[in-house]
Amino acid sequence: MFGNFLIGLREGLEASLVVCILVAYLVKTGNSRQLPPLWAGVGIAVALSLAFGALLQFGSSTLTFQAKEALGGSLSVLSVALVTWMVFWMRRTARHLKSELQDKLDAALAVGTGALVITSFFAVGREGLETSLFIWTAVQATGDGVRPLIGALMGLATSVVLGWLFYKGALRINLAKFFRWTGVMLVIVAAGVLAYGIHDLQEAALLPGLHSLAFDISTTLPPDSWYGTLLKGVFNFQPDPTVLQAVVWGLYLVPVMAFFLAPERSGSAARPKPAAEPAAE
């Protein structure tokens, strides 16, 4: 449940910040009359994200077991790829996000109302579709009834409240550190979702090694115990993974975490320093 809360909080807060930046810029530049088209684009994006999540849930329920496992495994791998890209994209562009959005908004205002709707739709829609896909795959991975979904909804609701507080100026936190440490947690959650996806593809007979276990500590760490449930809900931990699951988990987590935590290189740091000039100059 905590892992899904974190997903909803992290992804929802990104979308909330985007909306806050767009709304604040329109208000400050005297374009408040353009707020309805902006909210229309945001509403369409949210509706599309909800429809996509419903399609995944109800569409998969009509499939055969093998087809459902193949779909779940494929979407798990896809969602991990998207979330990994998103984490690194936010790490790289967070400091320039505000100016980029304002430039796009200026261009949309110059074109007209339709362009403003499209701009706000795409600004929020990408986050919404990624969130729907990752939450769906994470909920399938935990297999813990409705609690993972409740956790995700709580995270989304919290992100909306935080976004409103940011807009009102009532809350200030170091967003760089926030996205850095939530990014670390998301990479760990994504590794578990990826391992789950590999297991689904093995059950669908698309990958080999379903019965080749790396280890089995089910008796020491029962999946139905409170601590087993906690580890599965937070990290998608499985006490009896296959060899392929364990290998893929390690091959994803170690390099991705190392790259994510590595200090960023600035363009100026890479350039050689110029020779010292006379003090008079």
pLDDT of amino acid 244: 95
Question: By the 8 A CB rule, do 9 and 155 touch?
Answer: yes
Taking 70 as the pLDDT cut, the residues of the chain under it are 1-3, 94-98, 141-146, 148, 170-175, 226, 230, 233-234, 264-281
Distances (CA, A) of 260 to 59, 135, 138, 219, 252: 35, 22, 21, 35, 12
Model confidence pLDDT, tens digit, residues 64-119: 888 888 988 898 898 889 888 878 877 777 666 667 777 877 887 777 778 878 88
- CA–CA separation, 152 vs 132, rounded Å? 10
pLDDT tens digits for range 98-110: 677 778 778 877 7
Coil, strand or helix: which one is 205? coil
pLDDT at residue 144, rounded to an integer: 58
Residue 75 CA from chain centroid, whole number: 14
Going from the C-alpha of 81 to that of each of 161, 205, 254, 266, the distances in angstroms are: 28, 22, 15, 25
Q: What is the pLDDT at residue 202?
A: 93
Q: Provide the β-strand partners of residue 242.
A: 213
At 12-23, the pLDDT tens digits run 877 887 888 788
Task: Check residue 257 and give its pLDDT.
Answer: 93
Which residues pair with residue 101 across a beta bridge? none
